[in-house]
Chains A and B, each alone.
Chain A
């Protein structure tokens, strides 16, 4: 019962945070000079009078507070508004891009965490050995490199030289399967996924890996690990035990990682021409497409905050010591 009270209170906090976030973002985006019609004006495609007419049509000539009231009111009914750039409901714009991003980021995050935990455990277990030092350095190198550089190198190698994988995009327009395996569903998307996922994993894996390694080194010196050895547990079982106990910090980090995954990785999406939400986010800001920009940023923030909440609640389940 106490748990439910706690959960409810945390959820309420989260809700308040998100509402405040919405207001801030609204203000923030409007502080940037220019509005959605300005850019059309400037490249000389829209005469000034026509721009003014557009502002009227889109309600941008009304006082800010009125615009905010309309926006807030629409939000309450679940309406994220209308994109100025696409002239479609925001949800129709954001949703498909979000799905595309999740297709890319889900494997990136899952593989990064799984590999990070497995390799981090392995390295931590071999603490002090030469192989651990080399391994830790190897894992940190790609993290220090910019993701677009890794992407370009992977493309140069596996797409241009060896031609094993496509250059970019999420699927090939008009893909004609030639062999049986190419006819498998998702084959086309899967082969497009390989390089961006590899680039994403190479750069995102180091953090969970190093966190897991550090936690594991600490756990290794705990009494219960000596005791586990005394009990005759196999090395694998001992390592599993260490991994399980050392996992909590990685879990916290994962929540943030998953949350940010909702915002996509702009550079990754640009290098690999992935039609994802990261690019949408950047474009919507430079186009002053406030509703889309707000929705994408909000989505990412909401994902981070909500996942943090879930992890906090899950902590009790994963570590019985803090269950009360």
Chain B
């Protein structure tokens, strides 16, 4: 590679350098352009799908955004067929969850409609979540979950009122009334609440407690593990889960699986009992003094896993710590609790910034008791204590941390000092990224419980095995189709109501999940939550005639090809 004889070495170097620069530029260009093109193509597709329907014109193909999961794909295969009955056609766009989130939630680019399934996280048991977070007009801002732009002042008022109503009976009334608005306005087609299906080895263990929204295997509600009893000499149970945790720091992660798993170690102040009602956990009791003052009392003789006793000092420290560092994952705690004040060895008075109806469930049920003697010593050079690795978590919960091997296993030992002593000696959680392997491990006896949501086909296969037991539990999680009220024709209430009549929820549940679940009554709160569900509401009648009548009454017509035509202006 000697330089050319008639070019001086310096000249040659300069030439080569320039050539390299050009190559570098071309390389960068080559990488950047296709990516940018891809991004803008997705963008363009979403925009073109948002073409508005003009008055008196046939309804254009409606844009639908769906996550590329098998159940969602099947859902739209059915809906595109059934909705033809009223003369509309759909333009489906699939995407991964992360594109869904970044396009629809963060960028607010919902086409005419989009579908989503919402998991049954414990905080969503409180009606506030599926009402306020999903449909309050405040949540139409970027990043809010009201990405269909539903705005109804009367509903907003009810949603706000139930949130601060501390009287349960009055709150029930408000919640039930709020739901009637959703049903009437139809900003969403709530489809069904798919059952959680878990399985375990009944020759080896018994005593699993199914809890609404948790099944027997999820870590959301620690009570479901407490009575698991070994039937063989082996006294630790092996669970499989799709996910692994990402961190051992309970202040860090907002992700539901990770945070609830860590709360097996760090006892929350309250939890949910078998009926999914709020019960004291680290607390012995609480007392709502007035809407913004709550007294809480720690259980006596509570010890952290390192043997140090837990006191009111630790409780106050926990709330102060969260308030001082404003951990994003714990935002609902620092946004609610203003201060904590020690009023006795085990008692603390909490001052709230505003009345909060979901307080005992979602604040006391999410906040956990953190040992002051450990967290006050977290190195101060970190941007936030949430970045501390916390390699040896010490809590006061029913399970003690033993070992975590990333992507291999997470091991717990029973905490005999917990007020409700586990009947097991320990638990091992094995992350298995493939459902087939999880089933195989359960069948072979390599695991004792399949603690991830099965489908009915696999469930049926497992239940044929005499050693295994399949458990179906209802949940408040849901599948829904969100309609965009910011554009035609989905901004037309009659159109939305017509869709409700041509959507056969029962049939969809049967086809997609073999009927394992609860059909929605049209409101975002599952009928299984009888405390909050409105018994007066029932699912819209499935009838093409009704749908067409609703449309006709609103001025819609059909062209000779059978295509739906917008009302004249």
Partners in one complex: yes
For B408, what are the chain A residues with a Cβ–Cβ distance below 8 Å? Answer: 169-171, 173, 275
**A interface secondary structure, majority:** helix
Task: Answer yes or no: A245 CB below 8 A from chain B CBs.
Answer: no
- Check A38 against B98 for contact (C-beta < 8 Å): yes
A49 to B144: give the CA distance in the assembly, Å.
10
Bitwise, A169-185 to B at CB < 8 A (1) or not (0) is 11111100000000000
The contact of B107 among A31, A33, A46, A86, by CB within 8 Å, is: A33
- Check B444 against A160 for contact (C-beta < 8 Å): yes
- Check B436 against A152 for contact (C-beta < 8 Å): yes
Bitwise, B407-419 to A at CB < 8 A (1) or not (0) is 1110100000000
Bitwise, A11-46 to B at CB < 8 A (1) or not (0) is 000001000100110011001111000111111111
Q: Which range holds the interface residue count of chain A?
A: 35 or more
| Partner-binding segment picked from A51-59, A65-73, A202-210, A225-233 | A51-59
Q: Contacts A54-B328, A275-B406: A41 and B118 contacting too (C-beta < 8 A)?
A: no
A163 to B444: give the CA distance in the assembly, Å.
8
For B101, what are the chain A residues with a Cβ–Cβ distance below 8 Å? Answer: 34, 38-39, 41-43
- Check B434 against A273 for contact (C-beta < 8 Å): yes
Measured between C-beta atoms, what is the minimum distance from A128 to chain B in Å? 43
Q: Contacts A33-B39, A53-B328, A173-B411: A159 and B406 contacting too (C-beta < 8 A)?
A: no
- Check A173 against B31 for contact (C-beta < 8 Å): no
Q: Which range holds the interface residue count of chain B?
A: 35 or more
Q: Contacts A24-B27, A31-B32, A273-B433: A167 and B384 contacting too (C-beta < 8 A)?
A: no
Measured between C-beta atoms, what is the minimum distance from A156 to chain B in Å? 9
- Check A97 against B407 for contact (C-beta < 8 Å): yes
A171 to B255: give the CA distance in the assembly, Å.
27
Measured between C-beta atoms, what is the minimum distance from B160 to chain A in Å? 16
For B440, what are the chain A residues with a Cβ–Cβ distance below 8 Å? Answer: 155, 159-160, 167
The contact of B249 among A87, A93, A97, A167, by CB within 8 Å, is: A87
- Check A31 against B35 for contact (C-beta < 8 Å): yes
Measured between C-beta atoms, what is the minimum distance from A178 to chain B in Å? 14
Task: Answer yes or no: A270 CB below 8 A from chain B CBs.
Answer: yes
For A273, what are the chain B residues with a Cβ–Cβ distance below 8 Å? Answer: 432-434, 437
- Check A50 against B331 for contact (C-beta < 8 Å): yes
- Check B32 against A28 for contact (C-beta < 8 Å): yes
Q: Contacts A20-B27, A96-B406, A174-B428: A50 and B254 contacting too (C-beta < 8 A)?
A: yes
Q: Contacts A39-B98, A43-B119, A53-B328: A279 and B433 contacting too (C-beta < 8 A)?
A: yes
- Check A87 against B247 for contact (C-beta < 8 Å): yes
A167 to B104: give the CA distance in the assembly, Å.
39
- Check A24 against B329 for contact (C-beta < 8 Å): no
- Check B437 against A168 for contact (C-beta < 8 Å): yes
Task: Answer yes or no: A288 CB below 8 A from chain B CBs.
Answer: yes
A170 to B431: give the CA distance in the assembly, Å.
12
A16 to B252: give the CA distance in the assembly, Å.
38
- Check A45 against B121 for contact (C-beta < 8 Å): yes
21 contacts between A and B (CB under 8 A): A9-B1, A23-B28, A41-B101, A43-B255, A44-B121, A44-B124, A44-B133, A48-B141, A50-B329, A51-B328, A52-B143, A57-B386, A155-B440, A163-B444, A168-B441, A173-B238, A173-B405, A173-B409, A173-B411, A174-B428, A286-B98
| Pairs A-B, 6 closest by C-beta atoms | A42-B101, A34-B102, A48-B143, A275-B407, A50-B331, A50-B328
* Extra pairs beyond A34-B106, A50-B254 (4, CB < 8 Å): A28-B32, A51-B328, A168-B432, A173-B430
